[in-house]
Amino acid sequence: MTASIDGMASAVPSPRVIIPALGLTQILAWGSTYYLPTVLAKPIAADTGWSLSWVVAGLSIGLLIAGLAAPFVGRRIHDLGGRPVLASSAVLIAVGQITLALSPNVGVFIAGWIVIGFGMSAGLYDATFSTLGRLYGQAARQHITVLTLFGGLASTACWPLSAFLVEHVGWRGTCGVYAAIHLLFTLPVYLLTLTRGPLPDWREESKPRSAAAHGRNRAIFLILAAAIMVGSMLQTVFLVHIISILNSMGIAFAAAVAFGTLIGPSQVGARFIEMMISRYHHPIWTKVVSVSFVAAGLALLWSELPIIPLALILFGAGIGLESIARATLPLALFGAADYAPIMGRLARPSLIAQAVSPSVGAVLIERLGAESTLAVVVAAALFNVALTLLLFGLTRAHTSPSTR
């Protein structure tokens, strides 16, 4: 369908330019925010004497801020397009990184993470997916899938880079380098590739809905939001505490780390397969498969059968598909006209859940032990399967060929 404004066709940037550009910025945005404490937390604590728990808490506070700001970001992308929002994310992340680099105490350090939190809300997946939906409408589905392939490389690319920088310029210098990257590379990329111009008007895609259909859509939205939130929470709990869980099963630290490396390639592999076959199925099937793989992987791990690699591969494939489903399913169910605001509303509970999940996992492990914590995670995963099957039943009316 041709997007129009006042009946005139509007030009949008070519996805051949936009997707690689946003892919590179996503790698840098994720690597310098969400994945940063993995490498920098211990060096920061060792250098400053600040509590490691407070250093790590910076990311949780940043995610909390990102969740609270997400609906506002969605509305701004809907009204203004992604260019100013993504450009502001580069500036905010850079300012936050400079604040971290110059922080004389933990209070200023946390303030830096608050600024980064606003930058994450305006520049990570949800904002970028919303930008693509705003530009390309239903055609954004394929572009979103390709973009997640880039995002899956963030830890692979930035963990070694962060480690190299810490070794040579220290953790403060590392934050300074990332700030410079965002100001000198990421910001110009956004400004040059997301050119100014009239935004497409996707309202013609929307169909009048009866009161019954409106009520069904509200139920679909609430169940989808719950499923995404539960999935985000159990994913974060498991990934943050995976080493402790595997150690409790009698697996040595080095072997646990080696097993953990199976998750990343599994995510990228599942996303690549989805990219090849997405045209043949509705995104609800991606969601069903993703939560089923996560539940199967965690259940196999909990069973203590000698198939840990298979369990982690299934889990990795599941969370890899989840990042696609959370972006493409709302587009298929609710259309492109209000896609950005809907993504913002869906992101809030998910990001807040991610913010509190590490602490929740730590409390569970302390009170119940790692093995029992894994059982709780498995139960949450099975509950998420049930939520998704309920969602599947409610969305059958939306699975016509026109939404594929």
Query: Is 198 domain-assigned?
Result: no
pLDDT attached to residue 20: 93
pLDDT attached to residue 203: 61
Q: What is the mean pLDDT of residues 217-236?
A: 91
Q: Same domain for 182 and 265?
A: no
Q: Same domain for 240 and 139?
A: no
Q: What is the DSSP letter of 305?
A: -
Q: What is the pLDDT of residues 10-39, one digit of tens each?
A: 467 788 889 999 999 999 999 999 988 888
Q: Same domain for 180 and 215?
A: no
Q: Same domain for 225 and 171?
A: no
Query: Is 1 domain-assigned?
Result: no
Q: What is the pLDDT of residues 310-369, one digit of tens each?
A: 999 999 999 999 999 999 999 988 888 889 999 999 999 999 998 888 888 888 888 888
Q: What is the CATH number of the domain that holds 392?
A: 1.20.1250.20
- The 3-state DSSP class for residue 168 equals helix
Spatial distance between the Cα atoms of 158 and 288, rounded to a whole number of angstroms: 31
Q: Same domain for 85 and 178?
A: yes
- CA distances (Å), 233 to each of 17, 283, 349, 355, in order? 34, 21, 10, 9
- CA distances (Å), 303 to each of 308, 360, 376, in order? 10, 23, 13
Query: Is 272 domain-assigned?
Result: yes
Give 385's pLDDT tier (boundaries 50, 70, 90).
Answer: very high
Asked if 287 and 327 touch (Cβ cutoff 8 Å), the reply is no
Q: What is the pLDDT of residues 109-144, one digit of tens each?
A: 999 999 999 999 999 999 999 999 988 888 888 899
Domain boundary among 193, 223, 251: 193
Q: Same domain for 242 and 127?
A: no
End-to-end CA distance of the chain: 13
Give 397's pLDDT tier (boundaries 50, 70, 90).
Answer: low
Query: Is 203 domain-assigned?
Result: no
Q: Is the pLDDT of residue 64 over 50?
A: yes
Query: Is 205 domain-assigned?
Result: no
Q: Same domain for 122 and 259?
A: no
Q: Same domain for 187 and 219?
A: no
- The 3-state DSSP class for residue 139 equals helix
Q: Same domain for 56 and 118?
A: yes
Query: Is 125 domain-assigned?
Result: yes
User: What is the three-state SS of 321-343?
Assistant: HHHHHHHHHHHHHHCCCCHHHHH
Query: Is 200 domain-assigned?
Result: no
Q: Same domain for 234 and 361?
A: yes
Q: What is the pLDDT of residues 151-189, one digit of tens each?
A: 878 877 888 888 899 999 999 999 999 999 999 999 999
Q: Which residues does residue 263 pair with via DSSP β-bridges, in sequence order?
A: none
pLDDT attached to residue 217: 81
Q: Same domain for 242 and 381?
A: yes
In the chain, the number of structural domains is: 2
Q: Which range of residues forms the domain containing residue 153?
A: 14-193
53-62, 253-262, 310-319, 369-378: segment of lowest average pLDDT: 253-262
Q: Same domain for 136 and 175?
A: yes
Spatial distance between the Cα atoms of 349 and 64, rounded to a whole number of angstroms: 9
pTM: 0.84
Comparing 268 with 207, the larger pLDDT belongs to 268
Query: Is 201 domain-assigned?
Result: no
Q: Is the pLDDT of residue 8 over 50?
A: no
Q: Which residues contact 115 (CB under 8 A, 6 or more apart)?
A: 92, 95, 96, 99
Domain boundary among 160, 193, 226: 193
| Neighbour-count burial of 146, counting CB atoms closer than 10 A to its CB (0-12 exposed, 13-18 middle, 19+ buried) | middle
Q: What is the pLDDT of residues 71-82, one digit of tens each?
A: 999 999 998 989
pLDDT attached to residue 357: 87
C-alpha 164 chain-centroid distance: 25
Asked if 223 and 390 touch (Cβ cutoff 8 Å), the reply is yes
The token pair that represents 338 in the structure block: 């209000």
Domain boundary among 144, 162, 193: 193
Asked if 190 and 90 touch (Cβ cutoff 8 Å), the reply is yes
